[in-house]
Amino acid sequence: MPARPATGQPYNPTYDPLVSPGPGNNQDYAPTYWVGTAGSPPDDDGPIDGDRDVDVAVIGSGFTGLATALFLAREHGIKAAVLEANRLAWGCTSRNGGQGQNASGRLYRSQWIERWGKDVARRLDTEIRTGFATFSDLVARIDCDAQPGGHLYIAHRAKKMAFLRNECKVMREQFGYDTHMLSREDVHGRYVRDEEAHGALHEPDGISVHPLKLAYGYMRMAREYGATLHPASGVTAWRTEGGRHLLRTPGGVVRARAVAVATGAYTAASLHPSLAGRYYPVLSNSLVTRPLTDDELARTHFLTHEAITDTRTLRFYYRLLPDRRVQIGSRSAVTGADAQHERHEQLLINGLGRKFPALRGIDIDYSWWGWVDVSHDMMPRITQPDPGQNVYYALGYGGNGVSFSAHAGRRMAERIAGRTDAAFALPIYDSPLPVHALAPFRRLGQALLYRWYYLKDEIL
């Protein structure tokens, strides 16, 4: 059995990818419900302990990085080395809400049509569906507390029903989904007594999971096929010589023919020139209650374990977990320095109480936050930004990466292996992430936008 890395740094709750020099070295996990209930992690291959040559280095050990390594080995016979600065699956993968939806990025399907036209939108929908099938197949092979059934999209104000009706119509008529609208009475009688609900759109596809248990399954499968997983092995410097990429880690230099970047919002600003200013890290908070009593279950009328989101721009996402706890998340602080302020947790507590008055004052057993990688045009990219370099990345999911990250890893593996596919002409594959023209002022713009979103969501 490989030796475990020595105890490293404690978890840094104020880490901020825009200002911190790097994500740390062998940091412990954030105190999430997933970490507290996933059980013992699977074996890994220990930190890099000397200079070595590899065919492919994957930077980042979340869903995307692990899936890339898995599919490289399983489908192309390429045994990649996965490099992680901290504990495996330390970033987004162990902090998200676990909602796997038939989506990726922040745009709705009606917005795909507006941006690219019906033909491209339909081909993109086919690709996203294929991605959901990739995710579903992996989930079926892993014990990860899967909760299938679909996605319930709650109208938190009456005026949002028109928006949901339009999306329902577009999904049915343009893409062939069995979507349907629900009245407030339907939602309360058949799904959950969310007191904010004025109705809802129900989408048939959706699987919620225990994300860290799923990641542990990815780890086991990747290693079974020959990939190696290296915690406490963050890339501290990167240069290219003679077509080889030299990645310096605390334990030695990894020389790789190709590099796949799968670091999400935890990407250090200086990691590689192709990544500078290409995404925007946004904080999301989450909490999990103690288990609900029989009386609380009856009063909240939780008849579903489906993924639920509401129509706020800064949406709440929530669900009933298998052990009768409620998990709820939403936006958080603008900066890492402010992440620990109690008002961000209180926003979730207040939201939970509005939706479910019976849960006001309930004990909170877990509370945490994490960074989300949002692209400037609200859609992800799985691409090779410079055809002259064997550098690839999959970034920009915008909080919708639990399911599509599996397929993104598969597609990135195909590109690294030199395969071609008609899907690579789609917008999420054929161009790099756009650069924000006013990148130095993004935080100021975010603070102003949050105030505007609040006015739109709650008052106007």
Query: How far apart, in whole angstroms, are the C-alpha atoms of residue 58 and residue 35?
Result: 23
**Fold type of domain 147-205+280-375:** D-Amino Acid Oxidase; Chain A, domain 2 (3.30.9)
Cα separation values, 323 from 300, 313, 392, Å: 15, 29, 39
Here the tokens at position 5 are: 């890395």
Angle among Cα 278, 93, 38 to the nearest 5 degrees reads 170
Query: How far apart, in whole angstroms, are the C-alpha atoms of residue 301 and residue 359?
Result: 12
DSSP-derived 3-state class of residue 444: helix
Q: Please say whether the beta carbons of 85 and 267 come within 8 A.
A: no
pLDDT for res 442: 83
Q: Please say whether the beta carbons of 265 and 279 come within 8 A.
A: yes
In degrees and rounded to multiples of 5, residue 146 shows phi and psi of -65, 135
Global pTM reads 0.96
pLDDT for res 1: 34
Query: How far apart, in whole angstroms, are the C-alpha atoms of residue 38 and residue 442?
Result: 36
Cα separation values, 259 from 140, 152, 252, 337, Å: 29, 38, 16, 32
Query: How far apart, in whole angstroms, are the C-alpha atoms of residue 127 and residue 103?
Result: 10
Angle among Cα 87, 225, 405 to the nearest 5 degrees reads 55
Long-range contacts of 3-12 (CB under 8 A, 24+ apart): 3/46, 4/44, 4/46, 5/46, 5/47, 5/231, 5/232, 8/86, 8/232, 9/86
The amino acid at 100: G
Q: Residue 416's closest CA among 42, 58, 49?
A: 58
The string of DSSP codes covering 131-199 is HHHHHHHHHHTS-S--EES-EEEE-SSTTHHHHHHHHHHHHHHHH----EEEEHHHHHHHT---TT-SE
Query: How far apart, in whole angstroms, are the C-alpha atoms of residue 149 and residue 164?
Result: 19
Q: What is the mean pLDDT of each run of 10 residues along the chain (460 residues)?
A: 55 94 93 98 98 98 98 98 98 98 96 98 98 98 97 98 98 98 98 98 98 98 98 97 96 98 92 89 97 98 98 97 98 95 97 98 98 95 96 96 98 98 97 82 90 93
Q: Please say whether the beta carbons of 366 and 289 come within 8 A.
A: no
Tally: H helices and E strands in the chain? 11, 19
Query: How many CB atoms are located within 10 Å of the residue 110 CB?
Result: 16
Q: What share of the chain is helix, strand, coil (3-state, %, to 5)?
A: 35, 20, 45
